[in-house]
């Protein structure tokens, strides 16, 4: 049972990951390590490796683009930025997220009220 909960949690995180990456990049360009540390802060990823395939896939789908930039310390960094397609994709995701969160919040509120009443 415990594994099932973990599993469900990781599925939820996985579903949110793309949305969050797009959200982060819509605020400004960012390089991989930065994206990783932000996602880790939010406990969205457990191991870093999961992010690389995701970024590659988003890039191959045309939602992201990247460029190489010299960094003051160490090797050049891969800076990702969101494309126009990515932006409209994000708007779409945002809409469905608002719907989902409204539904979930609504249900949660109902639950709260019933628990308070009883």
Partner 1 sequence: MKKTFPVNINGKIFYIDEDAYSLLQNYLDQIHQAFGGTEGDEIVGDIENRISELFDERIAAGAHAIVYADVNNVIEIMGKPSDISDGDPKPDRQPQAESDDKTCDSNNSSNSDSVNSNVTVGKRLYRNVNNKVFGGVIGGLAAYLGWDANIMRLLYVVLSFFTYFWPLAIIYLIAWMVIPAANTPRRVLEQQGFPVTVDNIGQNVLQSTPPPYPGNNSDFSPKGVVTTIFSLIGKFCMTILGLIGSVGALVATGFFVFFLVAFIAYTCFHDIILLDFINPHFVDHVGTMVPTVGCLALMSFALCFIIPALALAWAAASYLFNYKGAAKATVFIALILETVFIVATVILFIFTDKWLYAF
Give residues in contact with partner 1 (CB under 8 A).
Answer: 3, 6-7, 10-11, 14, 17, 32-33, 36, 46-57, 60, 74-75, 78
CB nearer partner 1, residue 56 or residue 91? 56
- Cβ of residue 19: shortest distance to partner 1, in angstroms? 14
Closer to partner 1 by CB, 96 or 102: give it.
96
CA 76 – CA 71 distance, rounded (Å)? 5
């Amino acid at each position: 049972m415990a594994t099932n909960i973990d599993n469900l949690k990781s599925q939820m995180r996985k579903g949110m990951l793309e949305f969050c990456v797009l959200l982060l990049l819509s605020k400004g360009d960012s390089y991989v390590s930065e994206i990783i540390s932000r996602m880790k802060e939010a406990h969205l990823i457990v191991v870093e490796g999961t992010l690389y395939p995701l970024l590659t896939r988003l890039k191959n789908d045309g939602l992201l683009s990247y460029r190489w930039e010299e960094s003051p310390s160490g090797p050049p960094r891969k800076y990702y930025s969101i494309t126009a397609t990515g932006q409209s994709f994000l708007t779409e995701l945002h809409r469905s997220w608002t719907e989902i969160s409204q539904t979930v919040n609504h249900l949660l509120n109902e639950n709260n009220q019933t628990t308070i009443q009883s």
